Structure 1
Amino acid sequence: MRVTLLGTGDTTGTPTVGCDCETCEQARERGLERTRFSVHVENERTDESLLIDFSPDFRYQFLRDEVSLPDAAVVTHIHFDHLDGLGNVFRLLDSLEVYAANETDSVTGESVAETIESKYDYLDAVTVRPTTPHESVRVCGFDLTLVPVEHPPFVCYGVAIEDPMTGTKLSLTGDTSFGISDRSRAVLADPDLLLADAIVPASLCEYHPLGGRHVDDDDVPRTFGTKHMTREGALGLADELNASETRLVHLAHFYPADEAFDEPLAIDGETYVL
């Protein structure tokens, strides 16, 4: 299993357009970037690849990192920075199976699968595969499982991807607060590599209108507002899940410049062979 982090940034990416903060300036000077979130997973045994989420930066990411076009894909939720890149498959692919949860969202009245079908009905190449959370499906030679996580107001899912031949496992938290259910945590547990949402350090919770939530024993918030984990929350979750290696993703440019590119914060283009 070869994992390439195509996009490790939040909804605006780093550097952010029109921003001259110290973090964005440092990213420009060092030639580092965090485009909108997407992960490429290659099964070198079957010569197939799976894409997790369709970044609006799809075209740029695939050209920059020279990865193969996907044979299948999974969408974790319907926010634009995870879905709107799907239109880029137009004229690039003859066929693409897109796996997405079949649970109805109480806010939209549709499942993620139904939203994709209606929004991208013009893409003849795309076949949506409605997928039941907590039930494993075989995709590109991998066992893929979607699990509900907490990213209000819409439904969102984490993903576990396991190679049945080697036993290697990749887990992604999806966009989520620290409030992930025990049932979902059990599916995500014991990964060789964990990609965990960690939008900002906990110290920035004081600037959020809703503050922080899910504080640890030292009163450090593990959730920033309601939708995303803090760095400290993501690392705490990694410990609880017994992750062998952890990379923090979906990172905002609000990280202070002197720590914005420190381990284990990921940047685009990182590759891991599991």
Structure 2
Amino acid sequence: MQLTFLGTGDSMGTPRVYCDCGVCGEARTGGLNRRLRSSLLLEERGERPLLLDCGPDWRGQMEAAHLRGLSQALITHAHFDHIGGLTEWADACRWREERGELYAPKEVIREIAARFPWIGGQLAMTPNDEGMNYGEWRITPWRVNHGKNGYAYAYRFESREDGRAWAYCSDSIHLDAKQKAPLGGLSLLVLGTSFVVENYPVETRSVYDMREGLELVREVKAERAVFTHLSHDVDVRADYALPVNVTLALTGMTASV
């Protein structure tokens, strides 16, 4: 499977409109720190591409990837930075006279339907609480702590052919032992780490920082890790002395699993 990082930013993206920091300034010049909201494009031989999260930058991400259509998507949770593009996708499906397929846990679908009551006319929304298949991969969602923002879901992808596994966990913090269990035996962990070190009161936080993310990678013994969901606190040009198996996500970057 090939993963393409269409977006690598946190809920506000980079640059932040109000901010004149060095990272936002570099991003405004079209630099490496320019980040849209987090989203992955999954491509598997013999299968239709599968979008992972559909935030408000969906249109720009589709144009950058030279995609004129999309038939299916997987959603982690119903926060706006992860579902804000669903209305545009649904409208594109209407113009193309096709019906998109959206997969998410049942409670996430309920939230989406409540927020966009009409969207079911163009997007078939299918619960995937019990897991689903995508080519050789078995995809299993599980609920994770999202700190002050409540909850989100992460996804484990496990090959039904050779047992290889990787996981996408973009919005989480302070996972307990049960929530960490699906992170075992991974060849790749894509993990959200919004700040380098986030020194805000714990009750106000919602996503791991890079320091905590490194601890988690070591604890679960992931072979490789990519940190995404990056805020303007993270400068991808900087040397953070990361281990050789850990990298920062860049817009348009690809990875194979």
Question: Normalization by structure 2: what TM-score?
Answer: 0.86
**Gapped runs of 5+ residues in structure 2?**
none
Give distance in 2, aligned partners of 1:269 and 1:258: 16
Q: 1:28-64 CA distances to partner (integer Å, 9 max, x unpaired)?
A: 34622211011111112x2322111111100111111
Q: 1:118-144 CA distances to partner (integer Å, 9 max, x unpaired)?
A: 323323221111232xx3322455311
Alignment-derived partner of residue 252 in structure 1? 231
CA separation of 1:66/1:258 partners in 2, compared to 1, >3 Å: closer, same or farther? Answer: closer
Question: Normalization by structure 1: what TM-score?
Answer: 0.81
Pick from 152, 159, 162 the counterpart of residue 163 of structure 1: 159
Give distance in 2, aligned partners of 1:229 and 1:49: 29
Matches within 5 A, 1:89-104: 89-93=89-93, 94-102=98-106
Q: 1:135-168 CA distances to partner (integer Å, 9 max, x unpaired)?
A: 3322455311111111134321111122323544
Give distance in 1, aligned partners of 2:58 and 2:64: 10
Alignment-derived partner of residue 142 in structure 2? 147
Residues 7, 37 of structure 1: 8 Å contact kept: yes
Residues 48, 140 of structure 1: 8 Å contact kept: no
2:80 is aligned with 1:72? no
Alignment-derived partner of residue 188 in structure 1? 183
Secondary structure of 1:4's counterpart equals strand
Give distance in 2, aligned partners of 1:23 and 1:146: 34
Alignment-derived partner of residue 22 in structure 2? 22
Q: CA deviation at 1:256?
A: 5.8
When structure 1 is superposed on structure 2, of 76-85 and 263-272 the one drifting more is 263-272
Residues 191, 226 of structure 2: 8 Å contact kept: yes
Alignment-derived partner of residue 249 in structure 2? 266
When structure 1 is superposed on structure 2, of 115-124 and 258-267 the one drifting more is 258-267
Give distance in 2, aligned partners of 1:39 and 1:153: 22
Secondary structure of 1:90's counterpart equals helix
Alignment-derived partner of residue 195 in structure 2? 200
Residues 52, 74 of structure 1: 8 Å contact kept: yes
Residues 8, 34 of structure 1: 8 Å contact kept: yes
CA separation of 1:160/1:71 partners in 2, compared to 1, >3 Å: closer, same or farther? Answer: farther
**Gapped runs of 5+ residues in structure 1?**
103-110, 214-224
Alignment-derived partner of residue 119 in structure 1? 115
Residues 49, 69 of structure 1: 8 Å contact kept: no
Residues 159, 188 of structure 1: 8 Å contact kept: no
Residues 198, 248 of structure 1: 8 Å contact kept: yes
**Paired residues, what number?**
246
Alignment-derived partner of residue 125 in structure 2? 128
Alignment-derived partner of residue 60 in structure 1? 60
Q: Tell me the amino acid that sits aligned with residue 226 of structure 2.
A: R
Alignment-derived partner of residue 107 in structure 1? none
What percent identity do the matched residue pairs reach?
28
Give distance in 1, aligned partners of 2:39 and 2:236: 23
Q: CA deviation at 1:72?
A: 2.3
Give distance in 2, aligned partners of 1:238 and 1:257: 19
Residues 200, 254 of structure 1: 8 Å contact kept: yes
Q: Tell me the amino acid that sits aligned with residue 62 of structure 2.
A: F
Give distance in 1, aligned partners of 2:134 and 2:28: 37
Secondary structure of 2:113's counterpart equals helix
Give distance in 2, aligned partners of 1:227 and 1:265: 19
